[in-house]
Structure 1
Amino acid sequence: MFKRNELNFLRLLFFASIGLLINMIRKPPLKEWLIIFLFKSYIASILDNLAVKKGYITYPVRIFRTFDISVLFSYLIFPVTCVYYNHASKDSKLPGIVIKCLLFSIPSAIAEHFIEKNTKLVQYKKGWNSYYSFISIAFSFLFVRLFMAVVRKVEKVQANN
């Protein structure tokens, strides 16, 4: 019974994320949002796979059982959230970028903490905790944001040549 509720919760997250993704791709600049989405998916899958292989995190209940990682989180929820973070911080200076990073990272870490404590969707092992999740979430948001700042700068230089 508990597993059925968790799978329903994952389905709800899936459809909500798809809705947010559709909303996201309707707004310009589509090319940037897709770069962010795909780059974040790539980073999240590497980090998630590493954490699972090292035994820090497990996902006992998964929609796609053939994968050890949370495909829904790594390839949909986290990348969509990162696109919205980049959209919110696109024209911000460093203090605004950091504050907005916290505004996106803290709720994500709190949600993961709640899910870890109350479901079998994610389990922390080997000393992993919500603080490490928060740090990894915030770092990856900032890393992707920095990457996109570099992409935008290079694109501007190339357009001027």
Structure 2
Amino acid sequence: MKKYQPQKRLLQAMLGLNLLIIIPLILRKHPIKDWVIVYLFNAGTNIIIDNSLTKKKIVKYPIRLLSKVYDTHLLFDYFLYPTFTILYNQWSVKDKPFIIIGKLFLMTTPAFFIELLAERKTDLVDWSKKWKWYHTYFSIISKSLITRLFIGLLRWVERSQRSD
């Protein structure tokens, strides 16, 4: 169990850093309710998707926070990826579709390589033989675009209701 301690400490440090970032990030730019909605939508759908993947044994997280309680990676599902999504949405809030997609690839690619490195060099994540790197990469891109579309649709509905 001692060989896993550095990896557990890394997870705890990532949680602490994320908690320091998330509050100012949400409060930094208006409209705050949009960022809360983005966060909650992303975290909620992460749990549903990750539960499905872990139950089917497509993805495993040998080392994770609260491992006796959850099979999923709570740090990624509830904190890291939702925070990433808020950053991405704030960065692309006024952009046209082509720029939105370009910025997504710019943000997603480095994050993906970190996960790929974690899968190959640590016990933080383990993909089954059915799951390849491109499944993760394009899943994150697709999910981020869906979240971006969701908040864009909510903003459009809100604007149209105000103009009536």
Tell me whether the two structures share a fold, i.e. TM-score over 0.5: yes
Distance 2:3 2:31 in 1: 42
Q: Tell me whether 1:105 sits opposite 2:108 in the alignment.
A: yes
1:92 partner SS: coil
Aligned to 2:156: 153
Counterparts of 1:114-133 in structure 2 under 5 Å?
Answer: 114-133=117-136
* CA deviation vs aligned residue, 1:44-103 (integer Å, no higher than 9, x gap): 111111111111100011111110100010011000000000011111101101101101
Q: What's the CA shift for 1:104?
A: 1.7
- Unpaired stretches in structure 1, ≥5 consecutive residues: none
TM-score where L is the length of structure 1? 0.96
For residue 30 of structure 1, the aligned residue among 26, 29, 32 is 32
TM-score where L is the length of structure 2? 0.95
Distance 1:2 1:71 in 2: 21
Distance 2:132 2:10 in 1: 22
Q: What's the CA shift for 1:129?
A: 2.0
Aligned to 1:83: 86
2:130 partner SS: coil
2:8 alignment partner AA: L
Say if 1:116 and 1:123, in contact at 8 Å, map to a contact too.
yes
Distance 1:98 1:44 in 2: 20
Aligned to 1:140: 143
Q: Give percent identity, aligned residues only.
A: 30
Distance 1:96 1:16 in 2: 29
Distance 1:103 1:43 in 2: 23
Aligned to 1:5: 6
2:150 partner SS: helix
Mean Cα deviation higher: 119-128 or 140-149: 119-128
- Unpaired stretches in structure 2, ≥5 consecutive residues: none
Q: What's the CA shift for 1:12?
A: 1.1
Distance 1:2 1:119 in 2: 11
Q: Number of aligned pairs? A: 161
Say if 1:108 and 1:134, in contact at 8 Å, map to a contact too.
no
Aligned to 2:52: 50
Distance 1:25 1:98 in 2: 22
* RMSD over aligned Cα atoms: 0.9
Q: What's the CA shift for 1:20?
A: 1.5
2:103 partner SS: helix
Q: What's the CA shift for 1:41?
A: 0.3
Say if 1:112 and 1:130, in contact at 8 Å, map to a contact too.
no
